[in-house]
Structure 1
Amino acid sequence: MENQRSQAPKNAIGLCLLPQELIQSIFLSLVLPEIVRLKLVSKSFSRIISDHTFLRHCNALSSSTTWLFVYKKRWLRDAVLHAVADRRPDRWFRFPAAELLRPARLHAEDLFFLAASNNVLLFASNAVREVLAVNLVSVTVKKIPPSPLGPRGTSSWRRSGMKLVAHPNGSGHFHFIFAEVVSNRPVLFVYDSLTDTWKSTTAEETHETDKTPPRGGTHVFYLNVGHGPRESVLVASTLEREAPVVVIRPRFNNNNESLTVGFTWGNVIDRLHVYGDGYMMIVKSEDVRSVRVLKGVELWGLSCDGRTWEFVSAVPCVVEKRFAAMMGCLEEKNGVVRAALVSNCEGVWDMTWLAFDTKWMQWTWMPLPDCKMKGWNMAGISFSSGLTLS
């Protein structure tokens, strides 16, 4: 985190004179990066924050907070990880990558941000072709050994084809999961940080509905392997021992529209398809005077048997915006589907946070403040939740 070992603010001494219960209540209204920085202000603050009762309440609040991380960099310049929380959507927090990655002694400009889960961040290096796991709170770095497929460059990792699952007990233990087609068959690769080993399992082709994990099931994850015009290929499984790894091939039957990855600039299909966790967001646009204009956003999900993509809901009253390019990321957790749409128009970046509650069938549209990205390159984006102080 940013080095905040500057002089304590003038009102810190006055704050210390308040009852400890009141100080803790004030601190609990803050988000995790603010609390960590307060530990550096004074020994009194550090003692309050390290109290077991405060830690328990803070971690309970932090575990329900969702973060969006964006990694940006300039060529041969310092790279920066920015983060914004749903509890504080008005402010971006800044984490210089050089500080986070100092233990690894790597050039931050060479890295691409892959994924995040709890306190763990995953980066990939294109030069040394390694994957690094960074703990955001303890500021430690772990190099992940090459997978059975060998060292991989940053272009080999597909966001919707991988998943980082960190255990929420503060141990720092995590699994890194990705799926690839090997010898024309989908294969699941799982790295366990506890044993520091990889395991690979060939996915089973099955048409038996009892072997297909239901969408929204507990601890079920879906990884996208590929997409044809009318059919997707996904791998579904859990982290349970001896759990089957199955192939799901949902069909897309929506008039004359076709599945795509990324943005198609032709006159036939003007769609951005964003995938993740068994869902698909379709972002529609129109060409207006040689500039793309956002016109609609739809959410689709796997059917109960996993055989088709089913329409879930459309965002009402979409705010039309101009852009030259757009990308996004998507995740589902505890019945809430979250997506971040990032667009660029004339060098200016714009970000929007969308959320859909599947229980109440309700949308939330949350524009984010300017991240000051003009002149910078975006090198990765990911949601995360469950950050804790310990």
Structure 2
Amino acid sequence: MSKLPNITTSIFTVMSKMAAEYNAINLSQGFPNFPVDQKLTTIVGQLATQNSHQYLPMAGYPPLLNKISLLIQKSYGRTPLPENEILVTAGATQGIFTAIQALVESKDEVIILDPSYDCYEAPVLLCNAIPVRVSLNDDYTPNWKKIEQACTAQTKMIIINNPHNPTGKTWELSDFDALENILVQFPNILVLSDEVYEFITFEKKHISAHSRTAILNRCIMVSSFGKSFHVTGWKIGYLIAPEHLMIEIKKVHQFLVFSVNSICQIAISEYLDLVSVEEISQMYIEKRNYFRNLLKGSRFELLPCEGTYFQVASYASISNENDVDFCKKLITDYGVAAIPISTFYENKKDHQLIRFCFAKDDITLAEAAKRLSKI
């Protein structure tokens, strides 16, 4: 008997497999196809010949923990304690899974805001807890009235994602004010803040939960070096949480992976001395603008993109097909893979919207846009 009877193969896997079968340009899965910074690969090459291949401490490489603390201090004015409040994880997904497994109990309720990334629900179900899906507004801002109405005495956690995948929406100060008002009414609710695209924002500066002192004692922050430094295959992320929560999270972490890839941790620790995270957004804003300009003459309507490396587009003026069928047709007939937005909703809500990943080199984006403009 399956513990996850309603969870099937990920839409990202399905679309990437189809893209490979039809030799289509893959703008579906969120991974860059351009080279990693040579400074980083040089560090890795040097470490490969050194004694960097054995277990590191369970919580993470101590110099890396110190540099994460410094990064958070420079970025948000908060200084988490390296030895007590920071945990290096095997990617953000493992961090999310670990935090939920450690802190959510049977019959607890966990609020998930739709459209939502697909890794949130499964760990909730594996806790024998209850996912409560609440849709965002049509402009993808949080509907605080609905969120408040969904909160009960059984609510253990609210999962937030800012900048938001799949829509690229970012939160306003008023959104955090509304969240904090709910937390005052429900003092037992924890917040899991997925901020893996924190350094990929554009015209509006990212507002992090790190900057909200009122909720820090109840908040688990999720970050990703894989996303920030476009090394998604390394699967290196980190959690930051108050010590009383981190104690429980580490209990689960040690039996999932114990410790994370040693060379990758040491390499990132050294690389952080050579790179500025402020440069990351500039690179992606150029890619976003380049891709949007290429599609100006197409029949797609592009929605605003405030962060992440995803562009949501409406195909309503092109076809009446549902978004899953339309994405399959994009692959088979036009040679471009995208992700249907309905798959991010529990109720498969279909607004005829699809998601493109623009974390690709210019040649790839130009060819994809050429094909899309023919539709």
TM above 0.5, yes or no, is no
**RCO higher in structure (CA 8 A, sep ≥6):** 2
Larger radius of gyration: 1
Q: In proportion to residue count, which structure has more strand?
A: 1
Q: Choose between structure 1 and 2: higher helix proportion.
A: 2
**Scaled by the length of structure 1, what TM-score is found?**
0.23
